[in-house]
């Protein structure tokens, strides 16, 4: 792993090249270079969570894009909200959030623009939210590179009352299209609040999904506190019903667990459990199980190999990784308590568990400044159990195991808070507040404040977690932007990086051609 300071030096060199290209009027090359820098900073922590220099380059680029003509008169009645994302998948937080936002805000008209959907088919749940197929725009099906996509996006959003950006942290297209006089105000959803992202100079409002994300945004991204709104994300949660609860005994039998035993569950991507310090969730649970021979820990997400297989063997199967589950409810229905993933939290999974009436435990073993790596949520913070030491973790679970009334009361209060905080009526109130804040925001570019560099505990932990994902490295960043380069440069850079596991023959194909080929294959494979 390259050091944080080494990553900083690489990143600043990339930004400097982007600045020189922009100053020379080589707009498209500068935009690609800016996206390369942002892509690297997203997955290889540089000690920055935002960067003034990169925002200045984006400002030069956005000012070079011609302004579209004003929208024609006779705009349809009602507020128009345009959602902008990079890519949407069949599963995942982006897709769910946008779909729920639209369904729970029926008083507005909604359009969706995707900047780089690529070969992935747009999820059916998104198309089902839109009354007209023309309300979904795929910019990568149009000719041109990043600058032309930004110009096209600026034309699409011109009649909007507000633009909500759900884009990937490195996607510069929304940042280039927004943040100019006359453009609609932009609300940036801070869904990646633990990593670097660009676009603060275009964000009239930053919608933070928790207090720890807001604190980091103000302290390290240079965003004024007055531009931040803290609110729950739109979710459609499915609390356990009476039938599900009554089938708990049969479900436990299916998992091979006695009815009277104490069961703790967790669910997240496997990488979120990989230890990056002295504490691991496996180790914490082994300490607890030594005291409680009637306890079990089941985890959905990680595969039952490696450290998980060793833990299962050492505990006679009482620690068990069960891989990915199509329906997590089957696991939640047998649980007595839920523990958030560690060292990297998974807030959405924890909220789903809380909606089932389970008491929620999130281990706060990180230093205090690393709160953004844990879980917090508006309206729920007072109900979370938050031990910060191994002894405290064991004691917290022991208290829950010893008292059915304690965990029932805590679980019921948690379910009530989550369901009320994420109800359709609560979301409509949140959406109106966000729209109001956006309408009051000043139009045009926003000068971000200081974006300090640091190499403290948070930065070290973020860097270590990123190394576990498999998406880190300058070669991975180059692989992502190769399809945007001109033919000669693309071949030259592909040759330089061809030995990287991230670089394959697909990177030789221009970005728009890749999308066109995948669309053609889908059409040919469909029955006539």
Which tens digits make up the pLDDT trace of 33-70?
999 999 999 999 999 999 999 999 999 999 999 988 87
pLDDT at 274: 87
Given a cut of 70, whether residue 244 has pLDDT beyond it is no
Given a cut of 80, whether residue 90 has pLDDT beyond it is no
> How far does Cα 214 stand from its chain's mean position?
15
How would you class 166 by CB atoms within 10 Å of its CB: exposed for 0-12, middle for 13-18, buried for 19 or more? buried
Residue 74 phi/psi, 5-degree rounding, is: 85, 35
What is the third-level CATH fold of 80-236+427-440? Rossmann fold (3.40.50)
Reported as a single tens digit per residue, the pLDDT across 187-198 is 999 999 999 999
Reported as a single tens digit per residue, the pLDDT across 390-427 is 999 999 999 999 999 999 999 999 999 998 888 888 88
The stretch 95-116 carries a mean pLDDT of: 92
Q: State how far the Cα of 462 lies from the Cα of 469, in Å rounded to an integer.
A: 11
Q: State how far the Cα of 479 lies from the Cα of 494, in Å rounded to an integer.
A: 8
**350 near 380, Cβ under 8 Å?**
no
**What angle, 0 to 180 degrees and rounded to 10, lies between the N-to-C axes of helices 457-467 and 4-23?**
80
pLDDT at 500: 93
pLDDT at 515: 73
Residue 343 phi/psi, 5-degree rounding, is: -85, 5
What does CATH list as the number for 242-421?
A: 3.40.50.2000
CB atoms under 10 Å from CB of 496, counted, come to 12
- The pLDDT-based confidence of 118 (bands split at 50, 70, 90) is confident
- 362 by DSSP, 3-state: which? coil
Joined tokens for residue 73: 């008169």
- CATH 3.40.50.2000 location in the chain: 80-236+427-440, 242-421
Q: State how far the Cα of 516 lies from the Cα of 333, in Å rounded to an integer.
A: 44
- The pLDDT-based confidence of 71 (bands split at 50, 70, 90) is confident
Q: State how far the Cα of 216 lies from the Cα of 369, in Å rounded to an integer.
A: 9
Residue 136 DSSP code = E
Residue 43 DSSP code = H
Joined tokens for residue 449: 């404040």
Given a cut of 60, whether residue 246 has pLDDT beyond it is no
CB atoms under 10 Å from CB of 90, counted, come to 12
Task: Give the predicted TM-score (pTM) of the model.
Answer: 0.90
Reported as a single tens digit per residue, the pLDDT across 420-461 is 888 888 888 999 999 999 999 866 778 889 999 999 999 998
Joined tokens for residue 146: 């990043």
Reported as a single tens digit per residue, the pLDDT across 500-516 is 999 999 889 898 887 77
pLDDT at 92: 66
Mean pLDDT (the chain) is 90
- The pLDDT-based confidence of 273 (bands split at 50, 70, 90) is very high
Percent of the chain at pLDDT above 70?
94
pLDDT at 248: 67
pLDDT at 233: 82
In sequence order, what are the beta bridge partners of 228? 206
Higher local confidence (pLDDT), 213 or 1: 213
How are strands ordered across the β-sheet holding 109-114? 136-138, 109-114, 80-85, 162-165, 186-189, 205-208, 228-230
How would you class 510 by CB atoms within 10 Å of its CB: exposed for 0-12, middle for 13-18, buried for 19 or more? middle
| Rg, the chain, Cα only | 24
């Amino acid at each position: 792993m390259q050091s944080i300071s080494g990553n900083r030096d690489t990143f600043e060199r990339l930004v400097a090249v982007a600045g020189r290209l922009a100053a020379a009027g080589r707009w498209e090359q500068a935009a690609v270079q800016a996206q390369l820098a942002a892509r690297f900073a997203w997955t290889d922590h540089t000690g920055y969570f935002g960067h003034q220099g990169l925002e200045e380059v984006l400002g030069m680029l956005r000012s070079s894009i011609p302004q579209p003509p004003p929208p024609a008169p006779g705009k349809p009645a009602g507020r128009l909200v345009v959602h902008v994302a990079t890519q949407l998948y069949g599963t995942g937080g982006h897709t769910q959030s946008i779909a729920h936002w639209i369904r729970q805000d029926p008083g507005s008209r909604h359009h969706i623009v995707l900047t780089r959907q690529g070969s992935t088919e747009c999820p059916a749940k998104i198309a089902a939210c839109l009354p007209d197929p023309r309300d979904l725009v795929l910019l990568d099906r149009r000719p041109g590179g990043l600058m032309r996509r930004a110009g096209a996006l600026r034309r699409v959003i011109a009649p909007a009352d507000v633009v909500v950006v759900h884009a990937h942290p490195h996607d510069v297209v929304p940042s280039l299209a927004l943040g100019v006089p006359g453009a609609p105000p932009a609300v940036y959803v801070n869904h990646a609040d633990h990593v670097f992202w660009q676009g603060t100079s275009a964000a009239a409002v930053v919608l933070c999904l928790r207090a720890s994300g807001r604190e980091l945004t103000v302290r390290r991204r240079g965003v004024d506190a007055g531009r931040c709104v803290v609110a729950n994300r739109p979710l459609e949660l499915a609390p356990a019903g009476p039938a599900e609860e009554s089938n708990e005994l049969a479900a436990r039998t299916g998992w091979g667990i006695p009815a009277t035993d104490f069961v703790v569950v967790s669910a997240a991507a496997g990488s979120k459990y990989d230890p990056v310090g002295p504490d691991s969730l496996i180790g914490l649970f082994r300490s607890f199980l030594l005291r409680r021979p009637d306890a079990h820990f089941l985890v959905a997400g990680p595969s039952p190999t490696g450290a998980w297989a060793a833990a299962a063997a050492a505990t006679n199967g009482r620690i068990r990784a069960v891989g990915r589950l199509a329906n997590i409810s089957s696991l939640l229905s047998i649980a007595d308590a839920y523990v958030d993933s560690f060292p990297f939290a998974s807030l959405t999974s924890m909220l789903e568990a809380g909606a089932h009436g389970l008491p929620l435990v999130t281990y706060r073993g990180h230093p205090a400044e690393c709160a953004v790596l844990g879980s917090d949520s508006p309206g729920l913070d007072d109900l979370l159990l938050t031990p910060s030491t191994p002894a405290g973790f064991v004691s917290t679970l022991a208290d829950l195991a010893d008292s059915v009334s304690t965990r029932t009361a805590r679980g019921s209060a948690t379910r009530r808070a989550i369901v009320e905080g994420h109800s359709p009526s609560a979301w409509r109130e949140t959406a109106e507040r966000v729209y109001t804040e956006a309408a009051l925001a000043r139009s045009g570019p926003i000068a971000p404040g200081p974006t300090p560099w640091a190499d403290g505990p948070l930065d070290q932990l973020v860097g270590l977690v990123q190394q576990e994902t498999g998406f880190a490295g300058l070669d991975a960043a180059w692989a992502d932007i190769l399809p945007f380069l001109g033919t000669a440069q693309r071949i030259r850079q592909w040759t330089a990086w061809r030995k990287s596991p991230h670089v394959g023959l697909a990177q030789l194909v221009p970005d728009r051609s890749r999308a066109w080929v995948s669309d053609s294959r889908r059409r040919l494979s469909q029955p006539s």
